């Protein structure tokens, strides 16, 4: 019996371990689109981390600085160009991300932590050009709850 309790305890603590997910920073995605985060939208649990990998060089990843781009209360963060960046996400909601050098080429994405509770504020983020177009795809993906490209 004691062994059984111990076993449950071990299994329980294993399942509560936070995961590390991966997002690639690419010049060309598997669907042929240029300058992308892959996946474009990532769904994770609160407390999980994301490893952003610049498979192609000269990309960076940082939180969206536009109003509504991240959940209220979450801090801004920024990865270095061409460097792997690991970011832990403790605030629930949609976290918009962008690549500074390629924002004009539409390099935006999102990490959805648990519930997309800030959807209404997030959808008001104003972007231009290609980023605006891709942002619509992001919103669609967040709404359907399916992993994006
Ligand atoms: Cu980039």
Domain coverage including residue 57: 18-144
SS (H, E, C) the chain: CHHHHHHHHHHHHHHCCCCEEEEEEEEECCCCCEEEEECCEEEECCCCEEEEECCCCCCCCEECCCCCCCCCCCCCCECCCCCCEEEECCCCEEEEEECCCCHHHCCEEEEEECCCCCHHHHCCCCCCHHHHHHHHHHHHHHHHCCCCC
pTM: 0.87
Compute the distance from residue 15 Cα to the ligand 1 centre, in Å: 34
Distance 107 CA to ligand 1 centre (A): 6
pLDDT, one tens digit per residue, over 108-118 is 999 999 999 99
| Number of domains, the chain | 1
Q: Is 118 part of a structural domain of the chain?
A: yes
Dump pLDDT digits (tens) for 52-78: 999 999 999 999 999 999 999 999 999
- Asked if residue 121 is part of any domain, the answer here is yes
Distance 36 CA to ligand 1 centre (A): 7
Query: How far is ligand 1, taken at its centre, from the CA of residue 101, in Å?
Result: 6
Task: With respect to residue 106, please indicate whether it lies within any of the assigned structural domains.
Answer: yes
């Amino acid at each position: 019996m004691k062994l059984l309790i111990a076993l449950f305890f071990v299994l329980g603590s294993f399942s509560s371990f936070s995961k590390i997910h991966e997002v690639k920073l690419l010049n060309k995605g598997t669907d042929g689109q240029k300058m992308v985060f892959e996946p474009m939208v990532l769904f994770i649990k609160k407390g999980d981390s994301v490893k952003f990998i610049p498979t192609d060089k000269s990309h960076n990843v940082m939180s969206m600085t536009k109003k509504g781009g991240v959940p209220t209360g979450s801090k801004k963060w920024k990865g270095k160009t061409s460097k792997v960046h690991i970011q832990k996400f403790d605030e629930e909601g949609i976290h918009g991300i962008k690549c500074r050098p390629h924002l004009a080429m539409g390099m935006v994405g999102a990490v959805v932590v648990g519930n997309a509770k800030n959807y209404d504020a997030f959808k008001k983020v104003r972007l231009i050009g290609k980023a605006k177009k891709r942002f619509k795809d992001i919103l669609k993906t967040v709404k359907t709850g399916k992993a994006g490209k």
